[in-house]
Amino acid sequence: MTTVRDAAYAIFRHFGVDALFGNPGSTELPMLQAMPDDIAYVLGLSEAVVVAMADGYAQATRRPALVNLHSAAGTGNGLGSLFTAYRGGAPLVITAGQQARSLLPQDPFLGAERATEFPRPYVKWAAEPLRAQDVPAALARAFHIAMTPPTGPVFVSIPVDDWDRECVMPTLPRLSLTTLPDPAGIADIAALLDRAKRPALVLGSGIARSGAWNEGIALCEKTGADVWVAPLTGREVFPEYHDRFAGFLPGYEERLVRMLATYDTVVVIGAPAFTWHAESQGVEWPGDLSLALLSEDPQHLATLRGGIGVLGDVRAGLAALVAQVSPREAPLSPAKRSASPPTPDMTPAYAMARIATLRPQGAIVIEEAPTARDAMHDHLPITDAGGFYTTPAGGLGYGLPAAVGIARAQPDRKVICLLGDGSSMYTSQGLWSAADQGANVSFVILNNGGYAALKNFARRFGLDQLPGTAVEGLDFVALAAAHGVPARRVVQADELDVALLWSMQSEGPTLVEIRLA
């Protein structure tokens, strides 16, 4: 026999856990008693920060990350970040404290009523074991489910008095969770590509989740296909300097159809076909366009409108396609025209161009600056595997704490976190965690004094006057200093290089506020 606590930590080690992300409360203290030295406690000052740090860490390591939240209150504080983790497929095992079993019938202070319902539907599985001795088995099951493709967060509610109870340590399996695609389906896609006269590949985050960067390049080069990034993709999928890189597809059906209309074959890999941001009316797809999709996520296949759908591991499927397709010469002309160099003004385009020039080799870019996204696409190309992260769900507050988690996972790579002034305020407490962890992050705040992306989007609905979009009077240098992060402000274009070099050459966290014109 052993205690629930000892069994839990043995399970955590078995599944490769080396950090616990949390913000402790009274219902979690027994879990932390005699916490082993080989598992670090990573403190966040709000649960939104905690979950997003763990999300970044899990994505960057491609391992499950362990989270501990404070009963219902802490779970509620973290729900926005949990939604993002769910949409991004982050394998998080989230534990939450619960009041003592003897108190639950009396509606106690800090009691979580129907605790497993609170995080749904944005977890793959949720449980509150009926007996203390069932907690270890529930934790082992949670890891298994979180890691099974499509990966995602799970939730276990654990009463405070369970940790010291005796239990039997469950026997733990060694799991191999890669699901190989059906060879017949792969052969169908290969034949489709061989028949194509003008093929295109549309790549999504499944490329990054499966580690298929090189396989995607190989399929592009063997087929001569143009490569597009799927709408609203949250990860890097292809080197943007490549001659066959065509650009980024929008989340608007009418525009996307126009951009793909010149192709006779489109193969979507690691993404749905497609993710939309706003409604479109009367869109007609070309009748001669052949469509195929390969993904580890059955939900992607469920929304496929005709064509060929194949379920299975993206990397394995791509490798099989590369082996089967016939080689061909690509068109001589590049797929995408290069953007003209921006003028030296305080614009997002100029800031992105200078960051691209000055960034250290192998730097990782995290972006949560919606107004600057087009400028980033034009002037800050993503060139490396594991080199890009953005929110996959649309909610703000992911970027800043995720950068801290990613920096912890990749300590030898500089992390550049691009934030809008509005975005940065959702989880600004993450600056303290960056300082506490010594995270090697350059936070770059693009300050335009408001929610400019919302103003731009409002025009789609014919809105000229929009309340609640001005965000003025924020002092990001003072905010950073209050959290222990050195910071500088840039107001003139000729000051930009000095500030960026200072930040990127520094060890540990720094912040540069860029006042846009």
Q: How far apart are CA 445 and CA 82, in angstroms?
A: 24
Residue 30: CB atoms within 10 A of its CB come to 19
Active site residue 495: no
Determine how β-strand 2-3 pairs with β-strand 40-43.
unpaired
Q: How far apart are CA 503 and CA 490, in angstroms?
A: 12
Amino acid letter, 216: G
Active site residue 113: no
For the chain, the helix, strand and coil percentages under 3-state DSSP, each to the nearest 5: 40, 20, 45
Q: How far apart are CA 217 and CA 458, in angstroms?
A: 37
Active site residue 394: yes
Active site residue 277: yes
Active site residue 253: no
Active site residue 14: no
Report yes or no: 427 and 48 within 8 Å, Cβ to Cβ.
yes
Q: Which of 26, 102, 326, 338 is catalytic?
A: 26
Angle at 438 between CA 367 and CA 388, to 5 degrees: 20
Determine how β-strand 226-229 pairs with β-strand 245-248.
parallel
Q: How far apart are CA 310 and CA 483, in angstroms?
A: 48
Report yes or no: 178 and 316 within 8 Å, Cβ to Cβ.
yes
Q: Which of 47, 128, 240, 513 is catalytic?
A: 47
Amino acid letter, 33: Q
Active site residue 387: no
In the DSSP assignment, the letter for residue 285 is -
Report yes or no: 219 and 318 within 8 Å, Cβ to Cβ.
yes
Tokens of 58: 């899990």
Q: Which of 16, 306, 362, 394 is catalytic?
A: 394
Q: How far apart are CA 450 and CA 454, in angstroms?
A: 9
Q: Which of 25, 97, 397, 422 is catalytic?
A: 25
Sign of the dihedral defined by the CA atoms of residues 461, 396, 364, 384, in that order: negative
Which one, of 360, 409, 306, lies nearest residue 63 by Cα?
A: 409
Q: Which of 211, 242, 251, 277 is catalytic?
A: 277
Q: Which residues have a catalytic role annotated?
A: 25-26, 28, 47, 70, 277, 394
